[in-house]
Amino acid sequence: MIKVINETRKLQGRKKPNEFFDKTAIENEMLGDLIKRIKKRLTSIPTNEDVTVTLTGSVDNIEFRTNASNELTEQIRNAIEQG
């Protein structure tokens, strides 16, 4: 089983009065959608190992840590890169 922990950083800030769109809110929504897709891919990887994957970073640079075997770590890396 693969457990996913999301420690990514959401952007802070408010929409500026002269901006038509709230860029921060859009980027945070994109990050949330990306994390959902990654979690779905990771939890669909078949394994007998009890693995924890911790996602860190931001929308343009997601990194991960895991306690998986080398072979499973490669599958995890591929799933995250497909994001």
SS3 sequence, the chain? CEEEEEEECCCCCCCCCCCCCCHHHHHHHHHHHHHHHHHHHHHCCCCCCCEEEEEEEECCEEEEEECCCHHHHHHHHHHHHHC
Q: pLDDT tens digits, residue range 20-77?
A: 778 888 888 999 999 999 999 999 999 999 999 999 998 788 899 999 999 999 999 9
**pTM exceeding the 0.85 threshold for the entire prediction:** no
Q: What's the confidence (pLDDT) of residue 78? A: 93
What are φ and ψ of residue 69, in 5° steps? -65, 165
Tokens for 51, please give them: 């693995």
**In 10 A of CB 76, how many CB atoms?**
22
pLDDT band at 15 (very low <50, low <70, confident <90, very high): low
CA distance 43 to 59: 20
